[in-house]
Amino acid sequence: METKKYTFSTEIKVRDYEVDVQGIVNNARYLHYLEHTRHEFCDSIGYSFRDMHMQGYDPVLSRAEIDYMTPLTLGDTMVSCLNIRRRGPRYIFQQDIYRADGVQVLRALITVVILHDGKLSRGDELQSAFGPYLSNNDR
Amino acid sequence: METKKYTFSTEIKVRDYEVDVQGIVNNARYLHYLEHTRHEFCDSIGYSFRDMHMQGYDPVLSRAEIDYMTPLTLGDTMVSCLNIRRRGPRYIFQQDIYRADGVQVLRALITVVILHDGKLSRGDELQSAFGPYLSNNDR
Amino acid sequence: METKKYTFSTEIKVRDYEVDVQGIVNNARYLHYLEHTRHEFCDSIGYSFRDMHMQGYDPVLSRAEIDYMTPLTLGDTMVSCLNIRRRGPRYIFQQDIYRADGVQVLRALITVVILHDGKLSRGDELQSAFGPYLSNNDR
Amino acid sequence: METKKYTFSTEIKVRDYEVDVQGIVNNARYLHYLEHTRHEFCDSIGYSFRDMHMQGYDPVLSRAEIDYMTPLTLGDTMVSCLNIRRRGPRYIFQQDIYRADGVQVLRALITVVILHDGKLSRGDELQSAFGPYLSNNDR
């Protein structure tokens, strides 16, 4: 886990209620971790989800691709990392989650578009906030 | 929505607590709907998730690809549909969700592998249950 | 389970993802079942949560008392029942959940107040909708 | 908020997906915060929920009483505090949650019993772990 190659990373501890009857974190919970990581990133650059929402901008998912590699379980802590790039109206988050010991848990590509008062926007409003953090490298 | 072209379909009503502050069903909830639909399918063919789990077989996701097309909101009802095919140890569920009025909400490809006592199995044990329902058509 | 003595009852099937690592439905999920039951009741009398919310009325919990009696698990179906009474601005839902075989799962007293545009209301607006369903018997 | 009068307290940040369409944290989520706080306490005294579960001991709720006082919303951080006392087989957690600015969000009494291999235990096994932290003061 070389967090240096990511624009942002945050540590998240598994909460015991997130673990299902199979003894592993339920597959849907990872979408929550991924969303929480994106929102923590927005917080960190001073433009929170709350601010966006108050101004009428709502980021919504248009596509998610997730490879589940190693499950998390009770007591685990993860490091959740992201890079961003832009393709026209779409912001694409490349997100990786690692267990505290460095084993990769998941990799995801999350495509987000921005609604403005409920309608699809061109995404230009977020350019000033996200611009300095956009990367060009595809994977 | 031609449910005839699906192996299985079930109706699900949005529960109000599933709608987030944006006024739409939160992106992670759809993973719950998709899982619930797969499990309802297993129920319908007489081999429930509970049965599998009791016998030491645990289906887990290895990959999810989801295209979010139209959001669901308060009061909506959906029809959630699936087809299955097999690729070696992997069962691939092609899943589509439609709003009650026929508008497509989401399409997904969910790849599931089967753990047996915690280890990856070849998936042969489920062949007898799933066999009659496997389709050959890719999309 | 004499559902006749309740103003409203609805059947809910446990979804497998609601079962936690202990093999039983997680304690917080019951709050979801209870909320869903109240909202289904509102739907049934023609005044949905969505309608209320659109008109600026938001029911919120002020108190919950829950006795957990028998846990639900994979594959279970429940019957969720309620009665309502009013105490000034407070609507008090007496809610009982039974497993399909009649064993009682839970009993709860849920006190709800109505916010109007974010401020505590006297609750009179809902009187016309709820009035015919209010019971006088305390327990 | 005088955290000194509590045996344990922990800070939790609201995750945006926990906020529902009413713009406030959904009532069921607080049960998650309360559970997470109890489990963090167990972690802090060196006897984690995972350890208990591995040894066949499963804490389960028998009763919850919750007064909802001030709702949490997007961007809020809370301090979640607890005291414990014992009444025979029951461990009673007095739990209070405060917003970061000190306003009280919620107060709760959560009664937990311990199952051992699925059967109600007398709770004596946890006495050695919990003993030093039990308080005598009722409220």
Per-residue pLDDT, averaged over C122-126, amounts to 86
Task: Give CA–CA dist D8/D51, Å, rounded.
Answer: 19
- pLDDT higher than 50, residue A139: no
Q: In which band, very low, low, confident or very high, does the pLDDT at B1 lie, cut at 50, 70 and 90?
A: low
Region C51-79 average pLDDT: 96
Partners of D74 on chain B (C-beta within 8 Å) are 21
Q: With an 8 Å Cβ cutoff, are C74 and A21 in contact?
A: yes
By CA distance, what is D27's nearest residue in B? B17
Which residues of chain B lie closer than 8 angstroms to C32, CB-CB?
15, 17
CATH code for the domain defined by D3-133: 3.10.129.10
As a whole number, mean pLDDT of residues D38-57 equals 94
- Residue A117: C-alpha distances to residues A51, B59, B67, C115, D14 (Å): 14, 40, 22, 24, 24
Chain C residues contacting D via beta carbons under 8 Å: 21-22, 24, 26-29, 31-32, 35, 53, 58, 60-68, 71
Q: Please determine, for residue D125, whether its predicted confidence score (pLDDT) is greater than 90.
A: no
pLDDT digits (tens, 9 = 90+) for A74-104: 999 999 999 999 999 999 999 999 999 999 9
pLDDT confidence tier of residue B139, bands split at 50, 70 and 90: very low
- DSSP annotation of D74 reads T
Choose the mutation target among C16, C20, C30, C72 for the interface with A, i.e. most A CBs under 10 Å: C20
CATH of B3-130, one of 2.30.30.280, 3.30.43.10, 3.30.70.100, 3.10.129.10: 3.10.129.10
Distances (CA, A) of D56 to A129, D53, D116, D117, D123: 51, 5, 6, 5, 13
CA distance A34 to chain B (A): 10
Between residues C131 and C138, the one the model is more confident about: C131
Percent of chain C surpassing pLDDT 90: 86
Average pLDDT over residues B27-39: 98
Residues of A engaging C, defined by a Cβ cutoff of 8 Å:
16-17, 19-21, 23, 26, 28, 74
Closest chain A C-alpha to D127 CA, distance in angstroms: 22
Q: What is the pLDDT of residues C88-97, one digit of tens each?
A: 999 999 999 9
Ranges of each domain in chain A: 3-133
pLDDT number for residue C137: 53
Report the chain B residue with the minimal C-alpha distance to residue D16.
B21
ipTM of the complex, rounded to two decimals? 0.93
| Segment B97-105 mean pLDDT | 97
Residue C39: which of B16, B39, B50 has the nearest Cβ?
A: B16
User: Which entry of A20, A51, A67, A124 is annotated as an active-site residue?
Assistant: A20
Judged by average pLDDT, the poorest of A123-137, B65-79, C58-72 is: A123-137
For residues A38-65, give the mean pLDDT: 95
Helix, strand, or coil here: C28?
Answer: coil
Q: Is A65 exposed, middle or buried (0-12, 13-18, 19+ CB in 10 A)?
A: middle
Interface touch B35/C48, C-beta < 8 Å: no
- Residues B57-85: tens digit of each pLDDT: 999 999 999 999 999 999 999 999 999 99
Rg of the Cα trace of chain C? 15
| Position C139 confidence tier, pLDDT thresholds 50, 70, 90 | very low
